[in-house]
Structure 1
Amino acid sequence: MAEETYLIVGLGNPGAKYESTRHNVGFRIVEAIARSEGGSLDLYKWDSHFCQMSLWGARIFFVEPQTFMNLSGKSISRFVEYFKISADHILVVHDDIDMHPGRVKLVSGGGPGGHNGIRSLIQCLGTRDFFRLKYGVGRPGRDGVHPDMPVERFVLASFNHDEEMLLAERMTSLADGVREFVTTGSQQAMNVLNVIK
């Protein structure tokens, strides 16, 4: 029987100036998971860095769109169409300003919640029925962040030391959850990921 195909997408902005920003945490998580399994996103196709791996009993594409956040769906839709990937096999990892720093949540469906990358994906894929792995980065006015800082400046600023440590602590659990998503399904993955507060 042929391996099932999964798409694990990290959202972010291309270029060195954005690498360590809160908005690029999706890139960082996907890169770290691929790297932990011996992969490297050094191939380029359809305006994305990606790697293809035979992993966890499936064919998995780890993908980072290089179109800038607002056009993420343009690139991802090409992978979905060409490889005929069903929506329930798509997992998109991204930052969420409405969850406190370090909180993790796996959800299916729903609206973009103000996230332009998710909005682009919904528009280009023509469906909301893909999975999102949200990583909390907090919001100005909460969690000790100055309330006068504009949201745009906040998400495009780098993690502070404590946030970096928190992300490092979460990485093994994040990888475990993504593996469960592929091997045993979304419900078991939620059991692993949604307890991370």
Structure 2
Amino acid sequence: MNIGRHDPQLIIVGIGNPGPKYQQTRHNAGIWVVDFIVDSLKLKLKRSHKSTLLAEGSWGGIDIVVAKPRTYVNLSGDSAEYLLSRYSLPTQKLLVIYDDIHIDVGKMRLRASGSAGGHNGMRSIINSLNTQDFPRLRIGVGSPDTGEDQIGYVLGKPTMSEKESIVKCVAGAVDCVEALLTENIDVAMDRFN
């Protein structure tokens, strides 16, 4: 370990769109998880790069980095690439948290790797890192009704009951991330999927 250098065991990135216009939209579910972690650990996000806000801290005695891209979802790969380069970590030490319309509202799914699944932010990260081999935690936001515009749906605000379910899921997602960090991904998947 380098003296004076933060050597994280995990980089936790929540993806979504920046700015107040998008803050409460379904597409920002990953950012909600990161915000919850930042608040819980009393961290302070700071601009570290044109593409990234980050906070360095410790969770249960384990060094972590929590980050939010400052870009729109479809450019999230810039931030992921920057973070892995800055901390000289392999992709397996990057956890990406994001919304998923293929999962019911209020449910979550942790995976060790996988495809983009139609999510433009994940496609950007996979393309930037040139691999699908990194863990991801998908937060279910439900799917649009038949004939409803998918983009309009994810950029829309959840109903009050959906929001309640997603908020409960966000709290569970934080517990899932803690299990991943302090135990391992298999334990976390068994417990939270």
TM-score by length of 2: 0.92
Identity %: 34
Q: Which residue, 105, 108, 125 being the options, matches 1:104?
A: 108
Cα distance in 1 for partners of 2:28, 2:8 equals: 28
Q: Which runs of 5+ in 2 are unaligned?
A: none
Matched residue count: 189
Cα distance in 2 for partners of 1:28, 1:111 equals: 22
Cα distance in 2 for partners of 1:78, 1:102 equals: 31
SS for the counterpart of 1:12 is coil
Query: Which amino acid is 2:133 matched to?
Result: D
Q: Which runs of 5+ in 1 are unaligned?
A: 142-146
Deviation at 1:4, TM superposition (A): 4.5
Partner residue in 2 for 1:64: 68
**Residues 87 and 129 of structure 1 are in contact (CA less than 8 Å); yes or no, is this contact kept in structure 2?**
yes
SS for the counterpart of 1:18 is coil
Deviation at 1:170, TM superposition (A): 2.4
TM-score by length of 1: 0.90
Partner residue in 2 for 1:166: 165
Deviations along 1:33-52, whole A, 9 cap, x unmatched?
22111113234424111111
Q: CA RMSD in A?
A: 1.5
Q: Which residue, 82, 85, 104 being the options, matches 2:86?
A: 82
**Residues 173 and 192 of structure 1 are in contact (CA less than 8 Å); yes or no, is this contact kept in structure 2?**
no
Whether 2:39 is the aligned partner of 1:35: answer: yes
Further displaced range: 2-11 or 102-111: 2-11
**Residues 96 and 137 of structure 1 are in contact (CA less than 8 Å); yes or no, is this contact kept in structure 2?**
yes
**Residues 176 and 192 of structure 1 are in contact (CA less than 8 Å); yes or no, is this contact kept in structure 2?**
no
Q: Which residue, 128, 145, 150 being the options, matches 1:124?
A: 128
Whether 2:52 is the aligned partner of 1:53: answer: no
**Residues 31 and 40 of structure 1 are in contact (CA less than 8 Å); yes or no, is this contact kept in structure 2?**
no
